[in-house]
A and B are shown apart, each in its own frame.
Chain A
């Protein structure tokens, strides 16, 4: 089948971008969306034009590298699917598709469909961890975790950090991403000692990075390739509110020793 693409081309962070039209004449229904772009890029290179830059790596929907807007929808039309796992059988001959990078102040465009998502790393660095240096762990079964808590923690922990939630949100909020980590760790007994401080620090970092606030619109959940629930955002808000009341400054006299 034939697919028409309108692709956002932008040379670097400071350049002006524009949409450029390309025709992909021989698209097989078994191709993935990125394989169609591979074929386009081979063709462009042979013609002496610059190939379209897009981020990708594992191509099995788990590394979180890929992602762009297809006709205004993050990762395209199939629910629970990253763009690398989106196959062309879901499109029809003659379709015209607009490909644009994630749009958010916190995610500057680096080239074509590639954006800088390092703000996510800084949110995790602000508190998205359990402080346990190598060697200091008790036996695995010394910490019993109810199956239900473990399963729900896993539901949240599945986040791949692709940024689709931010791109889909009218406020460019990173609430779904941030709350997924807060829930994952906060649901587990191991995560309790730092639970409230974690919520405070991560939410704070989210606003430092220029992400917007959550307006409960739910677009993030709708486009999330891992189907992370916005229930996590409610959880984050509860932990944050509680933390705002509860967390006290560190004891100045230091530890007991």
Chain B
């Protein structure tokens, strides 16, 4: 059933012409589907975050027949909702020298020269349309007194181009997309299937034609057939168990697509976010982000002396080390996330960390409160301060916050070409689920931008070209391929329920997370990665012998849902380590201890690794193949990233 292949090739399909013309050229070259014919095509969209929700709504508006699935009880709950800080756009409303080219440049550089230039340029171009669209939908962005849109600055940029809605930008953008989607549901162009989890992909004659989903209320497993499949199922940060992702965020959809031949791009590129609330105990279920925007007004520091356990207020200025301001004077506290995270780790590894266990650094607002007044700080970050207080029981208006890096985002994902199609024809991947635009490190406020760009403005065009050109035969859920996949899903579910071993799903997940954090986290090395690969294989073997999934299939069974996801994480974790092992350089969020500059910064090896790596499944138990898409930098010349 797995139609994989050693002959798989990566064709990026980047259009010809100068970079500023490529998207125009592409749009002109693509075939269109006549408005009256659109309703004859059906498209499956899995996931209702910013990318999936926006895509489903837009395809519905265009007149396609859309089947949209999400595992939540409502399409309004996807984890895009938790994005706090903002969304970038090259509007130059602040008149501070921003432009499409500058946003493009910052993003390619921020990604440490491991992203496809043409994609990033398109993203920067589209960024301006996104803001317009969202404003028109009624997203209540922050405003100046004159009624114009307000902006703030974010890490990795020296201009103010971030639009925001208090600390809840993701929520407001997602509700905009959700409302557009509900409008289409009401109009009948989109059929919504909530509480349905995608468990497999259906391929007919080499093209993606459907999905197998489980109704999470009744356990019924069904096949749905369409002309194309779009995955907007988010990232896989939960491989680490503890991350800022929502508890139910998972990799099952993309992982099962991978096993049908969709190559997995740069799996080792994970983003560790510098400002999260530190871990407090074993029972901890997730980590909470404190928005990067806080670094606009907060100063990061640790005591100069090792093991200085005085309360922060008693440590005089002269005995504090504002290490980001010291090491990176031109960007200061606003260096990109990978740089800030590593610097925090270094400070703690030196024994200068604060708080219980010594894994924390201060994020201090005293200077800003003194300069701007508590009222202004409250207006900017009130909800974040409140959240911090609720979780830690400490008041950040009077005591500095304690923060530590945590897994936040995955730049890797299914490999897609310029038109967002994976190596499986008819399988499109959008938003965080794909690998496309952020290279080895994503800049703050760029995830929302990419999700919405893909969903509102890229996929709706490119999928039309695919449908207009593809000669698809009629398919139905009775097709042999569909039946085979259904049977396989059923077998795996039964197998998992029958084990009734001694360890809970969560205990396996926690063990995997510890291995990943230790050996494939902020710093990686050859020996550690090899060790982790062996350990993960052992853990996986034990899982299938000793996991205890209680209950049955024909009911709401949250242990069964988690069991399936963790089984996939146990395979994906190994691939991440393999990718990290083979990428013998440091770049962005991927820091190999063997490759660093004398100052401890990431050292790229452009000669050997100026490429995206995409892994092709070769069958269960076989080592996957590593394919390479060379990256050419015609416009932004690769250099040692400097934020000094």
Contact = CB atoms under 8 A, between A and B. Distances in A.
Interface of A: 11-12, 28, 30-32, 34-36, 38-39, 42, 45-46, 48-51, 53, 55-65, 78, 80-81, 85-87, 89, 110-111, 114, 116-118, 120-121, 124-126, 128-141, 143-147, 150-151, 153-154, 157-158, 160-161, 184-185, 188, 190-191
Nearest to B556: A111
B79 interface: yes
A150 B281 contact: no
Nearest to A132: B136
Nearest to B148: A141
A125 B185 contact: yes
Contacts of A190: 135-138
A134 B180 CA distance: 9
Nearest to A187: B140
A217 B390 CA distance: 28
B530 interface: no
Contact of A60 (B132, B387, B558): B387
A139 B130 CA distance: 10
Contacts of B57: 134
A133 B72 CA distance: 25
Contact of A150 (B143, B168, B248, B285): B143
Contact of A61 (B75, B131, B387): B387
A85 B391 contact: yes
16 contacts: A32-B285, A57-B246, A57-B248, A58-B247, A59-B246, A62-B81, A86-B390, A110-B217, A121-B182, A121-B194, A124-B76, A132-B180, A134-B180, A140-B163, A153-B140, A158-B168
A44 to B, nearest CB: 8
Contact of B74 (A28, A81, A118): A118
A161 B507 CA distance: 32
B548 A46 contact: yes
Given A63-B77, A134-B133, A45 B548 contact: yes
Given A38-B285, A58-B82, A141-B93, A147 B136 contact: no
Contacts of A132: 133, 136-137, 180
Contacts of B275: none
Given A124-B178, A132-B133, A136-B136, A147 B550 contact: no
Contacts of A125: 182-183, 185-186
A111 B144 CA distance: 47
Contacts of B194: 118, 121
Interface of B: 54, 57-58, 61, 72-77, 79, 81-82, 91, 93, 129, 131-138, 140-149, 163, 165-166, 168, 171-172, 175, 178-180, 182-183, 185-186, 192, 194, 217, 246-248, 280-281, 283-286, 288-289, 386-387, 390-391, 393, 456-457, 460, 502, 504, 506-507, 548, 550-551, 555-556, 558-559
Contact of A146 (B79, B143, B163, B247): B143
Contacts of B183: 125, 129, 131
A87 B246 CA distance: 18
B132 A134 contact: no
Contacts of A56: 247
A46 B136 CA distance: 52
Contact of A184 (B138, B217, B502): B138
Contacts of A151: 140, 143
Contacts of A184: 138, 140
Contacts of B460: 134
A117 B393 CA distance: 32
Given A140-B135, A190-B136, A124 B168 contact: no
Contacts of A80: 386
Nearest to B135: A140
**Chain A interface helix/strand/loop/mixed:** loop
A121 B178 CA distance: 9
A136 B556 CA distance: 42
B81 A58 contact: yes
Contact of A140 (B75, B132, B178): B132
Given A35-B284, A134-B457, A137-B136, A128 B73 contact: no
Given A45-B504, A128-B182, A158-B168, A145 B79 contact: no
Given A58-B246, A110-B556, A134-B456, A116 B73 contact: yes
A29 to B, nearest CB: 8
A56 B71 CA distance: 12
A154 B180 contact: no
A184 B165 CA distance: 13
A117 B73 CA distance: 7
A81 B390 contact: yes
Which among B58, B79, B217, B283 has the greatest number of chain A C-beta atoms within 10 A? B283
Nearest to A82: B390
B82 A62 contact: yes
B47 to A, nearest CB: 13
Closest 5 CB pairs of A and B: A144-B147, A137-B136, A129-B179, A125-B186, A137-B132
Which among B76, B79, B246, B390 has the greatest number of chain A C-beta atoms within 10 A? B390
Given A30-B281, A62-B81, A134 B58 contact: yes
A207 B148 CA distance: 38
B133 A141 contact: no
B72 A57 contact: yes
A154 B285 contact: no
Nearest to A85: B390
A63 B82 contact: yes
A49 B550 contact: yes
Contacts of A50: 550-551
Contacts of A32: 285, 391
Nearest to B549: A45
Contact of A147 (B145, B284, B285, B506): B145
B166 A154 contact: yes
A130 B143 contact: no
A87 B390 CA distance: 7
Contacts of A58: 77, 79, 81-82, 246-247
A178 B185 CA distance: 18
A53 B391 CA distance: 23
Contacts of B559: 45, 51
Contacts of A157: 140, 165, 172, 175
Contacts of B131: 140
Nearest to B249: A57
Given A12-B556, A60-B387, A134-B456, A28 B147 contact: no
A140 B91 contact: yes
B171 A62 contact: yes
B283 A51 contact: no
Given A28-B283, A46-B504, A129-B179, A57 B143 contact: no
